[in-house]
Amino acid sequence: MALDSKSELTQFLQGCIGRALTKQDVVYTTEAHGELFQSTVRLVCKEGEEWAGELRSRQKDAMQSAAAEALKFFAAEIAALPQKPAKAKKERPAAAEPTSKTELAQKLQAHCKRPMTKADVVYAVARTPPGFQATVQLLCIGGLEFTGEDCIGEKQAQQSAAQQALMNCHMWSARTGAKVQTAQKAPEPTGASPKSELTELLMRHLRRALTKADILYAVMRTTCGGFQATVDLLCHQSQRFAGEVCESPKLAEASAAHQALLSVSSELGEPPPAALLSVSS
């Protein structure tokens, strides 16, 4: 929008003296001549120079006319001033990348061919010594559960659980087409558990401590009401083993670890661990 003469004159004078103007720097005086008005502008900040405008029917217009006369005098100086660069258009912020939770919901929607509801994907967050750990249950595909890494915040923990579900999306189709099995009670191992025995066996073989990224358990709810787990040995040729259908997620994980122990101990030529002996007896 173009500036009026008074505003343009103020802007020019501020540039000349290097500061904001005060009422004492520029003084307008208006006199009535019958029904008309004439204004004079005195530039106190610029050696007290004065200019008179033309007669106008309103005082406001008379003051603008006086300012216009002053601007005409300084036209050469104004033209010599450097042009202000045009204001750059503000770029719209880039669209935020979808989070793991958002991506999970989108992929589940495509997989199930319907919109997702809050009852389809349920997150549960538990406090752990390092911070928080979350589990996501995909009730829309039979109750598959995935547990994320320990995180410093609840939101990050949920994102981590969603990421695990995305990384194991190959299990979704397997779960959708899985046959219904009758849940049976797996025997409680006495002494060492299959999970701990499996960890110790792999640590001896790899000669290092394991991380959560080395062994990944995933538990799904079956249509008969039980639970079935798989264990991925990412540190050992990415082998996968599935356990039997059990009454609880804990027993289901133990059953999957038991199957892994049977295979890996035989493969490595080691005697059956204690957990195998107690389960098989």
Same domain for 156 and 202, yes or no, is no
* Residue span of the structural domain in which 203 resides: 194-268
Whether 94 is covered by a domain: the verdict is no
Whether 154 is covered by a domain: the verdict is yes
* Lowest-confidence pick of 23-32, 42-51, 268-277: 268-277
The confidence score (pLDDT) of residue 2 equals 56
CATH number at residue 251: 3.30.160.20
Q: List beta partners, residue 31.
A: 38
Q: How confident is the model at residue 213 (pLDDT cuts 50, 70, 90)?
A: confident
Same domain for 105 and 159, yes or no, is yes
For the segment 28-35, the average pLDDT, to the nearest whole number, is 90
For the segment 14-39, the average pLDDT, to the nearest whole number, is 88
Whether 221 is covered by a domain: the verdict is yes
Q: How confident is the model at residue 273 (pLDDT cuts 50, 70, 90)?
A: low
Q: How confident is the model at residue 132 (pLDDT cuts 50, 70, 90)?
A: confident
Is the pLDDT score of 160 beyond 80? yes
Same domain for 112 and 64, yes or no, is no
Is the pLDDT score of 42 beyond 80? yes
Is the pLDDT score of 38 beyond 60? yes
Same domain for 206 and 237, yes or no, is yes
Same domain for 45 and 109, yes or no, is no
Whether 166 is covered by a domain: the verdict is yes
Whether 273 is covered by a domain: the verdict is no
For the segment 74-96, the average pLDDT, to the nearest whole number, is 70
Those residues with Cβ within 8 angstroms of residue 245's Cβ, 6 or more apart along the chain or in another chain: 181, 182, 183, 184, 222, 224, 226, 227, 228, 252
The number of folded domains in the chain is 3
- Mean pLDDT, all residues of the chain: 81
For the segment 175-194, the average pLDDT, to the nearest whole number, is 51
Tokens (6 digits) for 44:
């106190």
Is the pLDDT score of 40 beyond 90? yes
- Ranked by mean pLDDT, the top range of 26-30, 176-180, 187-191 is 26-30
This prediction's pTM: 0.35
Same domain for 170 and 199, yes or no, is no
Q: Which residue has the tokens 């790899």?
A: 206
The confidence score (pLDDT) of residue 191 equals 54
Those residues with Cβ within 8 angstroms of residue 177's Cβ, 6 or more apart along the chain or in another chain: none
Closest CA to 260 of 236, 226, 280: 236
The confidence score (pLDDT) of residue 184 equals 43
The confidence score (pLDDT) of residue 281 equals 44
Contact 267, 236 (CB under 8 A): no
Contact 147, 161 (CB under 8 A): yes
Whether 113 is covered by a domain: the verdict is yes
CB burial class (10 A; 0-12, 13-18, 19+) of residue 186? buried
- Ranked by mean pLDDT, the top range of 76-85, 117-126, 249-258 is 249-258
Give the integer Cα–Cα distance in Å for 240 and 234: 8
Same domain for 104 and 162, yes or no, is yes
